[in-house]
Structures are given as C-alpha cells and as structure tokens.
Structure 1
Amino acid sequence: MKSVLIKNAKIVNEGQIIKGDVLIEGDRIAEISSTISMKSADTKIIDADECYLLPGMIDDQVHFREPGLTHKATIETESKAAVAGGITSFIEMPNTNPQATTIELLEEKFEIAAKTSWANYSFMFGGTNDNLDEILKVDPKKVAGLKLFLGSSTGNMLVDDPKTLENIFSKTKLLISAHCEDEATIKTNLAAHQAQYGDDIPMECHPIIRSEEACYISSSSAIKLAEKTGARLHVFHVSTEKETHLFSNKKPLAEKKITAEVCIHHLWFSDEDYKTKGSKIKWNPAVKTKNDRDGLLKALLDDRIDVIATDHAPHTLEEKTNNYSNAPSGGPLVQHALVALLEMHHKGKISLEKIVEKTAHNPAILFQIKDRGFIREGYKADLVLVDLNSPRTVKKENILYKCGWSPFEGITFKSRVTHTLINGTVVYENSKFPNKGKAERLTFNR
C-alpha cells in the first residue's frame, strides 16, 4: 500500500488551525498527529514547511461542456485545471448536448468521467416540463441531485409550467438545485433595451436586464413552493443582497431544508467592472452592484448562505467577444477560485477557517457526500497544500482551461496551490502533474 506523509503543516479543519502531520495510506487518511514518524522507506514525504493544509474544495456547480460542446471544454481539460486550483471534487450540470435528462444519457456522462476526469465527480440530473417519470428513477445514493432551470436555460430545460414544478417538488426525493431568474421579467427588460440599442446593448446593462427583481421573484417563488411541498431546495448562485434575506441561519446546515450558494464572481466583481472586463464577466445571474457584493459576503459570513462555488462555464474567446446579444454568458473559474478566496483572506474579508467551511465541509454536509470534505482519520485523502506567500500573476501561458482565457488575467494573487492529492495520490505538485491518479464517482449518505 502506497503511503504519503505530510509533515509540518498548518492544518485548517473544522473551525481551527493546528500544526501537525498527516499520514495517508492508500486512498485514506490514516493518522493525524502533532508528529508522525516515517512508516516505511518508500513513504513519500511532503514537507509542508508551515504551508496550510486544507480539505480539497468540493465545487457543487460546474459546466464542463462534455458531451457535445467540447470545442469549449472537456471533462478532462477542466478537471485538470480544477485540481491545479485545489478543487478535488465537482458536481457538473446537465445542460450539455445532449442534455442529461434521461438515466441513459446521465450514465454516459459518468462513463466519460470514469475514463478521463482528474477530480472526483458527480453529475446533476436535468429536469424538464415532461420528464418526471425519469426523475423518479434516479437513485439519490448515486447522483448528486436534480437541476431545475427556472430561468435562462438551453434547449427544453426551462421548467416553466407551474403544475409540473409542483409535481416535481412534491414527488422527488432528490435534492433540487435551482437556477432562479424570472424569464418574463428578463424578456420585458431585454425588449426595452433592444428597442433602444438594437443588438449593441452596452454590457453595463446586463444587471439591469437580468435584474434584482427577476432574481427575487424567482427565488422567493421557489422557496414558497419548497415550503409548501416539503422539498429539499438548494438555490444556486444567489446574486443580490435582497435575496439573502430569504435564507436563514437559525438551524445547523444538516437540518436546513432550504439552502443557498454564492459564486466567486459575485463575491469578487461588481457592475463597475463591466467597463474594463466587458463580456468576460457576463454571467447569468448577472454581476450586480457593490452593495449586492457586500451583502452576499455578509450573508456568507453569518451563515445565511451555505456554500461557495464557481459556476465554471467556459466559452471560447471568439464567442465571448461578440456584441451583447450574441456573447454567451459564463466564464472559466475553477483554476483560480481558491486563490481568489485566499486573496480575500489577505484583505481581511474572510478567515481561512470560513473558506474551508464553505468550500469543503458544507458542500459535503449539504449533499451528504460520503467520507469527503474534512481532514479526518478514515476519510478519503482529498487534500490541498497552499502557500500564502508565493505570488503568481495569471497569464495566458499559465492558464489551463481549454478556452485559454480567464477573467482574472493580469491579477497577481499572493497565494498559490502547491500540492493537490486525490484519493491519496499526488496529482499536482508545484505546477506539474506527476500522476493522473484514480478519480472516483461520489457517493452519498442518503
């Protein structure tokens, strides 16, 4: 059995930071102690030299574009970028081509990941107006959950029939994750802007078109339906301060029936950045005001918002450089999510303990992921070492996304990921990928 011994680490886990060693045997954490002696001559020693050891990020919302959209990204390319960024597990969305709206199509995606993924993986099953029978076949122990687009979707994945929605909320045992934007409000706003500007709408109008009102109408409606039916609802990428008041911190996460996520871009950018970043920060929901950004961070810190994710959604630079009407929404983030959060830590906005809670512990609790998300003896060894004092500038030559660009280009982050371990195997070490390792399908304690 292969073993790895991490020495002299500052271990960030479960609300505290302790200095110590971690022994990994096979794919699991065997021992955590202040000092551990080498067990055998072939043990790989990693001297952390007082770098910080974190449980790997679990990103609960990514779009890796495979199958069907592989000119933008693949499971292999994006999961490799993810492990370089300290993400050890991901949950991918169903709006690929074809869409994962049948059991057969969902399993085809699992088969691709089993062959090519660098990180542990699961996939959301996609809901439509007419696939309730398929939804009810999904095994909650083997699939992360159900994704419902209540606004802004592709193909036939916009679920906008009220009776269908209530049926799904009432009958599924799956955790429901929802994209909440009111389509009617957005269409009205868009028509008004098209009448004024044609297709050349200024990018700064994006948060006015995909407005606070559109988000709040949809989020509040989904929450009311969940309360009525008893469904387990997780609201993706909350983007407004107003929406944060829909969520509560009065119960521990494990007891909550309604939870929320915030994404890196909504914590980092504001509408002032459209002037310089343009379509590179065009996301759905839109990046909004400084007040929204500050309100999201406040709700994250006081536990109304439960997890941080990326909503990694790459497009080619050629696609993104179109005018407003033709530039798709979304951007690549998995490689730079953790270092962006560490930069926020350097600025005094968030503690290391809270970063770990929101990116590793809480996703594991919220999705009931088995044996991951914590640095605990007996748990899978999904670990990340970070050096908080090793600056690196994001440049084209060090970007790993297939699309080849990042909204963070030109930014120098003070921290960097030095090592990433997936199931006990060092897959990333000082900007190199020494081993592919064996990524695993996530399983769930449900």
Structure 2
Amino acid sequence: MTTTLIKNATLLNEGIRQQSDLLIAQGRIAKIGQNLTAPDGAQVIDATGKLLIPGMIDDQVHFREPGLTQKGSMATESRAAVAGGITSFMEMPNVNPQTTNAAALEAKYDRAAQVSVANYAFYLGATNDNLEEIKNLDPQAACGIKIFMGASTGNMLVDNRETLEAIFANAKVPIATHCEDTPMIAANEEAAKAKFGDAVPMKLHGEIRSREACIKSTKTAIELAKAHGTRLHVLHITTAEELALFEANKSLDSLSSANITAEACVHHLYYSDKDYDTLGAQIKCNPSVKTERDRAAIVDAVKRDVIDIIATDHAPHTWEEKQNTYFKAPSGVPLVQHALQSLFEHYHNGDLSLETIVQKTSHAVAERFNLKDRGYLREGYWADLVLVDLDKPYTVSKDNILYKCNWSSFEGHTFRSSIESTWVGGIRVFDGSNATSEPVGQRLQFDR
C-alpha cells in the first residue's frame, strides 16, 4: 500500500485545530506531528492552507442495489460519495429484494466488496413479519435495524403496534426510524387530489407530508424506546416542534451509550418551502422540506447539540421519473457528492463552526454506531481522510456530476469550498478532479 505524508495541513479533530503533518502507512494513520520526515518512496502532499478532517460517515443512503440499478448502484454512488468527501456509508434496506433477512444482508456485503469505493455497512429492514430475523441478528452483521414508521414500499411499513413493541424490546443494535404517520398523510393526499386532481402543486408537498404526521410518529418512537430501553436514532428531523422531544433526552454524555439521538439531513438544513417554486420535484423527498422557520430551527438545533448527526438520505431517481406530476414523481434527492460542500456554506455564512460539522458528520456517527477505528484523526485509526480547500469555489455542472442519474438539485450552484482529496483506508480515491472506480472500500466493523 502507498505510504503518504501530508505536510503542513490544518488538522481539525475532536474540537481542536492544529498545524501538523500526518503520515499514512499500511492504510492507517501512522503518525501525527510536526516536521515529520517522509519514508523512502512515500508520496508527499503539501497541504499548506488546507483543512484535513476525518471523512464523512453517512449513516443514511439509498444506493438502489439490488433491483433498482437504473437509478444508481453501489459502484456509481460510492464513487460520487468519495468525490464529496464521504468515506463510509450505511445503506438502507428498501431495495429489491428487500434486505429483511440475514441472507440478503450478506449478499449486499458480498456485492459491496466487489464494487464499492467507500467503506460500507447495511441495515436490516423491519417488517410486520420478520421478528425472528431481528431477534437472531448478529450485532456485527448490521449497522442497525431500519423501521419505516411512515410510508414505504412493499411490506416495509411497520404499522402493527404489537410488532413495533416486540421489535423495540428485542433489538440488539440501534433502531433507526423514518417517522411519519401514514393515515394522516393519506388523508392529506385525498384532500389535495379532490381539490387539484392530478395537478397538485409541488409546493404543497410540505403540507401533504405534514408536520403533524412527523410529530405524531416521532412521539410514538420515543415512547417505545423509553418503555423498552431501546437505542433509538430518529432519522431526518424536519420540524421545529420535534426538536423539543430530543432536548428532553440529553441526559447521557456518550453517544455510544445514549438511548435516544436525532439526525438532520443536509437538504433539510439547506432548502425550505420557498425552493419548491424553482426546483419542484427535484427537492421532493420524504419527510418533506418544510418552512424557513423549520430549516432555521434545525440549523440552530445542530449548533446546540440537540441534533446529534448530519447525514444525506441520498436517494437518486432518474431525471425522467422526476418530470412526472405530483403523485407520480418519486420522492428522493441525490446528495452524497455535494453534502460536505453544502455544510461548509453554513460555515461561510457564520451559522455552523467547522468543529460542529466534523463532530456531526464523523465523530458522532462513529460513536452512535460503535464503529471500530474510524471517525477520528487518531494514530492507529484507518486513514479515511478528506482534504478541503475552504476558499476554492466549485460549480456543480452536468459534466462533473458522478451520480448515475446525472442530475443534482445543486446544478449551476457555486459552492465556496472544494474537496481537494479523499482517502479511504489510506488509498487516495479522489484527487480533486478524478475519482477512482477501484473497489477499495472495506466492511465496517463494530465495537459491540
């Protein structure tokens, strides 16, 4: 493996910034210090004026494999991820066939080993009838159990209260929930259809996938977690009202042992309902982008540590699918390639510190999911690293989008920061212009 010495970087790790060198050897961080000497044959990179951080660990992506590969694949989306500074991902189970048993989990690991540029782990999906799979789950086999407590495809909507109680009581790994109340949403859809027919305006998505539906479902998940002592992680919070539910549950200091944590996604931090007029179905997602008041409240909650983790919920669809009318256009946004750059915009705007961004995208994810030797710039840890130029503009265009779907809601936008290089397990997988297709990603391991 290549030995690499990164010189004169501004390292940001565990809330501390320091000018330092970092030596990569055998895939790991061998040494951190000043005035390090390059071993014979080592590649030397001068990082003067640039920021070196641990790679983003995305705890929520949909890479669409198996069965939906016209939208994306582990190969294409992991390549886009490393170009965006994401070095590890945790992928969701609503594929075809669904990842709802041990055999399907292992099949995805086998496929990722063949094609993934980034490190990988997978969720076991809960259904109304796979409780025995959940009871027998090896804690090393999945990053968590995913419960769609809101609408999903096939039988992955878990709406049986008895089943939910049993899942929360028997989970050996963190439960990650999508919280929306389906009956409330269905009633809103019928009302919109009665008024507009097939011509429902996209800007009504935030009202149809309403705040009330989110709040009700999130309350239910928290009640279940408290009743059973379950480690609960609520995904993609979208309303100001939900935040109070998590402020009351911050008594534990360590995320690795915390019972209840919350996540925000980059698009809910960036967009609000005013953006539907220009972007329409491009930002149609579940749960929905809501008001500017909600967006600002979520940013503030990240700053105040009410929100523990930032992720993407990367969910590509083809451009043709997104051109449909409201009820036919699928929900989901491709995000992994530009997630960190969008977060650095909050830094440039004075809303979030760099320390907070690193905490929420790397350290906290490693702690919450008990990741082994990842998520920090520490000697002996895997060298999953991102070099950032905070002052080099980057414009998103069709010719530099790496998603298989080949579109982005950020197309035409110029970010104020650029991803200069990404390393996965000590291997440079992105050099600022080109991303490798080599399957260098590793299966994530857990300290459980």
Judge same fold: TM > 0.5, yes or no: yes
Alignment correspondent of 2:313: 311
Which secondary structure does the structure 1 equivalent of 2:246 belong to? coil
Deviates more, 1:95-104 or 1:251-260: 251-260
Judging changes above 3 Å, is the alpha-carbon distance between structure 1 residues 71 and 437 closer, same or farther for their aligned structure 2 residues?
closer
For 1:251, give the aligned amino acid: L
Deviations along 1:329-351, one digit per CA (max 9) or x if unpaired, are: 00100000000111111111111
Alignment correspondent of 2:237: 238
Please give the residue correspondences for 1:85-96 in structure 2 after superposition, counting only pairs within 5 Å. 85-96=84-95
Alignment correspondent of 2:21: 21
Alignment correspondent of 1:66: 65
CA–CA distance in 1 between the matches of 2:265 and 2:436?
A: 30
Alignment correspondent of 2:194: 195
Alignment correspondent of 1:36: 36
The answer to whether structure 1 residue 269 and structure 2 residue 271 are counterparts is yes
For 1:28, give the aligned amino acid: R
Contact kept? 2:124, 2:145, Cα under 8 Å: yes
Which secondary structure does the structure 2 equivalent of 1:335 belong to? helix
Deviations along 1:220-246, one digit per CA (max 9) or x if unpaired, are: 011001101111110000000100111
TM-score relative to the length of structure 1:
0.98
Alignment correspondent of 2:162: 163
Instruction: Quote the offset at 1:433 in angstroms.
Output: 3.0
Contact kept? 2:116, 2:439, Cα under 8 Å: no
For 1:3, give the aligned amino acid: T
Instruction: Quote the offset at 1:308 in angstroms.
Output: 0.2
Please give the residue correspondences for 1:3-402 in structure 2 after superposition, counting only pairs within 5 Å. 3-40=3-40, 42-248=41-247, 249-252=250-253, 253-402=255-404
Instruction: Quote the offset at 1:383 in angstroms.
Output: 0.2
CA–CA distance in 1 between the matches of 2:206 and 2:121?
A: 31
Judging changes above 3 Å, is the alpha-carbon distance between structure 1 residues 435 and 397 closer, same or farther for their aligned structure 2 residues?
closer
CA–CA distance in 2 between the matches of 1:32 and 1:14?
A: 14
Contact kept? 1:64, 1:73, Cα under 8 Å: yes
Which secondary structure does the structure 1 equivalent of 2:302 belong to? helix
CA–CA distance in 2 between the matches of 1:438 and 1:432?
A: 15
Aligned length: 445
RMSD: 1.0
Instruction: Quote the offset at 1:110 in angstroms.
Output: 0.7
Alignment correspondent of 1:404: 406
Contact kept? 1:142, 1:444, Cα under 8 Å: no
CA–CA distance in 2 between the matches of 1:186 and 1:356?
A: 35
CA–CA distance in 2 between the matches of 1:104 and 1:243?
A: 36
For 1:18, give the aligned amino acid: Q
For 1:294, give the aligned amino acid: A
Instruction: Quote the offset at 1:139 in angstroms.
Output: 1.0
CA–CA distance in 2 between the matches of 1:404 and 1:180?
A: 29
Instruction: Quote the offset at 1:307 in angstroms.
Output: 0.3
Contact kept? 1:247, 1:304, Cα under 8 Å: yes
Which secondary structure does the structure 1 equivalent of 2:72 belong to? coil
Deviates more, 1:314-323 or 1:426-435: 426-435
Contact kept? 1:142, 1:442, Cα under 8 Å: no
Which secondary structure does the structure 2 equivalent of 1:37 belong to? coil
CA–CA distance in 2 between the matches of 1:439 and 1:397?
A: 25
Deviations along 1:27-72, one digit per CA (max 9) or x if unpaired, are: 11010002201121x1011111220001000000000000000000
Taking every aligned residue pair, what percent have the same amino acid on both sides?
A: 54
Instruction: Quote the offset at 1:255 in angstroms.
Output: 3.6
Deviations along 1:338-375, one digit per CA (max 9) or x if unpaired, are: 00111111111111111000000000000010000000
Instruction: Quote the offset at 1:437 in angstroms.
Output: 5.8
Which secondary structure does the structure 1 equivalent of 2:23 belong to? strand
Contact kept? 2:6, 2:22, Cα under 8 Å: yes
**What stretches of structure 2 of length at least 5 have no aligned partner?**
none
Deviates more, 1:67-76 or 1:104-113: 104-113
TM-score relative to the length of structure 2:
0.98
Instruction: Quote the offset at 1:285 in angstroms.
Output: 0.3
Instruction: Quote the offset at 1:143 in angstroms.
Output: 1.4
CA–CA distance in 1 between the matches of 2:445 and 2:142?
A: 7
For 2:207, give the aligned amino acid: I
Deviations along 1:2-50, one digit per CA (max 9) or x if unpaired, are: 311000100010001100000011111010002201121x101111122
Which secondary structure does the structure 2 equivalent of 1:245 belong to? helix
Contact kept? 1:422, 1:437, Cα under 8 Å: no
CA–CA distance in 1 between the matches of 2:120 and 2:105?
A: 13
Contact kept? 1:425, 1:435, Cα under 8 Å: no
For 1:30, give the aligned amino acid: A
Alignment correspondent of 2:418: 416
Deviations along 1:235-287, one digit per CA (max 9) or x if unpaired, are: 00000010011103343223420000000010000001000000000000000
For 1:186, give the aligned amino acid: I
**Structure 1 consecutive aligned stretches of length 4 or more whose deviation exceeds 3 Å:** none
CA–CA distance in 2 between the matches of 1:6 and 1:436?
A: 22
Judging changes above 3 Å, is the alpha-carbon distance between structure 1 residues 387 and 331 closer, same or farther for their aligned structure 2 residues?
same
CA–CA distance in 2 between the matches of 1:109 and 1:200?
A: 39
Contact kept? 2:105, 2:141, Cα under 8 Å: no
Judging changes above 3 Å, is the alpha-carbon distance between structure 1 residues 174 and 225 closer, same or farther for their aligned structure 2 residues?
same
